[in-house]
Amino acid sequence: MNDNISIVSGGGGLENLVPRAVWLPRTGGGKSTWGRTSRDSFRVRSVLSVLLLLTVSSFGRVHAEAPPTVPAPGVLPIICFPGPPAQDNIIGHWQRIKDAHFTLVLASHRYSDADQQKMLEHCSQLGLKAVVNVKKLAPPSSAETPPPGWREEVNRATALFGNHPAVFGYMIRDEPGAELFPQLGRVADAFREDAPNHPVCVNLFPTHATTTQLGAPDYVEYLERFMETVRPPFLSYDHYPLLVDGTDRPDFFLNLELARAASLKYDKPLWTIVQSSWWQFFRTPSAGELRWQVYGALAYGVRGFGYFTYWPARDDYEAVVDYQGNETPLYGQISAVNSEALALGSTLLQLKSTAVFHTGEEIPQGCKRLPAAAALQLPAHEPLIAGFFEHAQGDTYAMVVNRNYGDSVSVEASLSAGIVSVSMVNKRSGRPEPVKMTDHRVSLELPAGGGVLLRLARSSDNVSSD
């Protein structure tokens, strides 16, 4: 079998960087000013009345505030899937998940209602949040309407699970084609009506899915249709780049580029699921490859991530734990990465991605080379990522990531004249610590695939953005 990737590259916007159909191996499934006269006030009231009427008639009720997209304030979503099978649904295994610094768990699609209730009890005791898997709502076809009895199933699920303190949200579909989006939109609206404080979760295909799988002519349109039709609380997709023959998919960063663009356009958080196991076409990641996936995603503004898979589906597959639930070497490696991400997360969740650039002899497909105008400059020959961010209070941050997952690297970064000081967010405490700056240069030590988060204090804000 071949795993050929055919990509259209061209100038201009992201719509010119769209994968064509490929074979995909799978194992499964300006400000307005209001007048102040009485006539204008009447007009204002009339407009508001019409808008209220349209909202109620379109959705059945006035929508409440958007549901939370983090398991707790300041806590980065780090998703575990799947957890233990039904026969191993005991608190000891969930404690192991908690100890590896996961903050959110997704229920197995094989769980019964009783299994999910038991999982929720364990999560509640441990301070974990959980996504309930509502598998009966998975649309079986491209029909315009969801499965028979779908509205009753939404009512039943929200009544059964909705008041449990461990519930984060409801999973209704993994990797749907665009032909299912109208159905999913109706189901999502029903959940928004019945459970406005619990987000609906849908996870999308990666860029290397075929056009048949996408149900759209290209990936950009696939994302656009999803955001417009389903109107999700966050944009989530999976991408497993590490192939068993030792090669990597060339579209890992392209996927981040396109998904980031969509998440910024619709002002929704970006989530992704990365690879943490060996099965069929995919190799077991090294510690550097795990960091490379996670830190690469964080540099692109990802605000929630998970791994596939935590518990293997078969005894001959490799994952974070083995088929009996015992720790494998991946457990300690993922625990370390999660711990760092969790410490950085309290800061990252307050930032908005403004630009992402690369350096190195070769720039990944669909990505941009670091321009000379950027406030932070890196060695042009080193394969690095520079993700720029802005805090709501105006502070500028930069995440520098080593794109080489095989070796660590020492980097000297130069800062523009406007930078007056640099601090680094500690990957244990999450607190900023001063970094020595000499002649507007700082030295950075980056582990294989790893990165650092810097705060750039400046006299004026002139970081280039895209």
| pLDDT, tens digit (0-9, with 9 covering 90-100), for 280-289 | 899 999 999 9
Distances (CA, A) of 29 to 141, 177, 216, 259, 287: 14, 12, 18, 22, 28
The C-alpha atoms of residue 90 and residue 83 are separated, in whole angstroms, by: 10
pLDDT at 42 exceeding the cut of 80: no
The C-alpha atoms of residue 334 and residue 321 are separated, in whole angstroms, by: 11
pLDDT at 35 exceeding the cut of 90: no
The answer to whether 200 and 169 are in contact (CB under 8 A) is: yes
**Region 151-178 average pLDDT:** 96
Percent of the chain with pLDDT over 70: 83
Spatial CB neighbours of 359, under 8 Å, sequence gap ≥ 6: 369, 370, 378, 379, 380, 381, 382, 383, 384, 386
The C-alpha atoms of residue 149 and residue 237 are separated, in whole angstroms, by: 28
The answer to whether 113 and 151 are in contact (CB under 8 A) is: no
Q: What is the pairing mode between strands 104-106 and 78-81?
A: parallel
Domains of the chain plus CATH, in order, are 65-349 (3.20.20.80), 352-458 (2.60.40.1180)
Q: Supply φ then ψ for residue 117, to 5 degrees.
A: -60, -40
Identity of residue 145 = T
Give the residue with greater pLDDT, 137 vs 51. Answer: 137
Spatial CB neighbours of 340, under 8 Å, sequence gap ≥ 6: 427, 428
- Which tokens sit at 37? 């006269």
Adjacency order of strands within the sheet including 409-415? 376-377, 409-415, 441-446
464 HSE (CA, 13 A, CB side): 15
Give pLDDT tens digits for 67-101: 999 999 999 999 999 999 999 999 999 999 999 99
The C-alpha atoms of residue 435 and residue 442 are separated, in whole angstroms, by: 7
pLDDT at 122: 98
Cα-to-chain-centroid distance, residue 433: 27
Confidence of residue 142 (pLDDT cuts 50, 70, 90): low
Give pLDDT tens digits for 251-292: 999 999 999 999 999 999 999 999 999 988 999 999 999 999
When the pLDDT of each residue in the chain is averaged and rounded to a whole number, the result is: 87
Torsion of CA 285, 287, 288, 291, to 10 degrees: 90
The C-alpha atoms of residue 309 and residue 89 are separated, in whole angstroms, by: 17
Give pLDDT tens digits for 1-31: 333 333 223 333 333 334 333 333 333 333 3
Give pLDDT tens digits for 410-451: 999 999 999 999 999 999 999 999 999 999 999 999 999 999
pLDDT at 380 exceeding the cut of 60: yes
pLDDT at 143: 64
Instruction: Name residue, tokens 């999982």.
Output: 119
pTM of the model: 0.86
